[in-house]
Amino acid sequence: MVTVLSTPLLALRSLLFYLGYVPITIVMSTFFITLFPLLPENSRQGFSIAWAKTILSWLRFTCGVRYRLIGQENLPDYPVVVLANHQSSWETLFFYQLIQPLAPILKKELLKIPFWGWALRLLKPIAIDRSRPRNAGKSLLKQGVRRLQEGHSVIIFPEGTRSEVGTIKNFSRGGAKLALAAGVPVLPIALDAGKCWPPRRFLKFPGLITVEIGKPISAADHDAGSMTEAAESWIRQRVAGF
């Protein structure tokens, strides 16, 4: 449920969120970059968790955005390829605190963003060049398999871009192909974050976001097509029921 507020009040609360979001990110990224050589692997991942939790807490305080998590018992303690629908920037923050250790997939140009991008580069994300789709696919498989073998889960948004609330684009097979190449399961996750943090919009709306984790889909029982179809079908069904 989303609480109805006047547009000026929503704008004021959203502005307050960003006025905190930016300096929090700069300060925490600066500390991380400075201390990085002294930190063990677990502590490096801990910085991303702390950053995500801080931003989400600030979002709740300023904009009234809360969440509920269903199916946490399905979250495995081994590396998986997460396939999730994509509605906003909220889930990218949320997944940093939900799944660890994590190797996010992102556009390589994001690594050039001052402070946040510089810090993110140190966490060894899977950075791809979307302007060259063929090379991007090969890079995803090569880097993804390596990171999964190192014990990191990989999150993929198979729609390719953020969708409006109430719509889900067709899933690509890249995530399933990666899971099969690495011999790990796919973990489907459904969410409706766009109702509170709409894609490509400034305003944030108070309300309750639902995140549901499905059961892992074994790579041994599927090919890329059937694995993708199973994950997409489950996610569509769950999102329709939120």
Q: Which pLDDT belongs to residue 35? A: 76
Q: Which pLDDT belongs to residue 103? A: 83
Q: Which pLDDT belongs to residue 176? A: 94
Q: Which pLDDT belongs to residue 148? A: 94
Task: Please provide residue 109's backbone torsions phi and psi, each rounded to the nearest 5 degrees.
Answer: -65, -20
Cα torsion 236, 234, 147, 24: sign: positive
Distance between CA atoms of residues 180 and 81, nearest Å:
10
The total number of structural domains that make up the chain: 1
Q: Which pLDDT belongs to residue 153? A: 94
Name the amino acid, one letter, at 204.
K
For residue 214, what is the domain's CATH number?
Answer: 3.40.1130
Distances in whole angstroms, Cα of residue 123 to Cα of each of 2, 71, 101, 115, 198: 35, 28, 10, 13, 28
Task: Please provide residue 44's backbone torsions phi and psi, each rounded to the nearest 5 degrees.
Answer: -65, -45
Q: Is residue 55 a part of any domain in this protein?
A: yes
Q: Which pLDDT belongs to residue 47? A: 80
Strand 153-156 and strand 102-107: the pairing is parallel
The model's pTM is: 0.88
Which residues constitute the domain of residue 233?
A: 7-241
Residues with Cβ < 8 Å from 218, sequence gap 6 or more? 185
Distance between CA atoms of residues 155 and 126, nearest Å:
10
* Residues 191 and 163 sit within 8 Å (Cβ to Cβ): no
Q: Is residue 46 a part of any domain in this protein?
A: yes
Peptide bond into 101 cis (omega under 30): yes
Strand 186-191 and strand 207-213: the pairing is antiparallel
How do the pLDDT tens digits run along the chain, 242 residues long?
A: 555 678 889 999 999 999 999 999 888 888 877 877 777 766 777 788 888 999 999 999 999 999 999 999 999 999 999 999 999 999 989 998 899 888 877 777 777 777 767 777 777 778 777 666 666 677 778 888 999 999 999 999 999 889 988 889 999 999 999 999 999 999 999 999 999 999 888 999 999 999 999 999 998 878 999 999 999 999 999 999 88
Q: Is residue 2 a part of any domain in this protein?
A: no
Q: Is residue 1 a part of any domain in this protein?
A: no
Q: Give me 223's structure tokens.
A: 């090919």
Q: Which pLDDT belongs to residue 193? A: 96
DSSP 162: -
Name the amino acid, one letter, at 119.
A
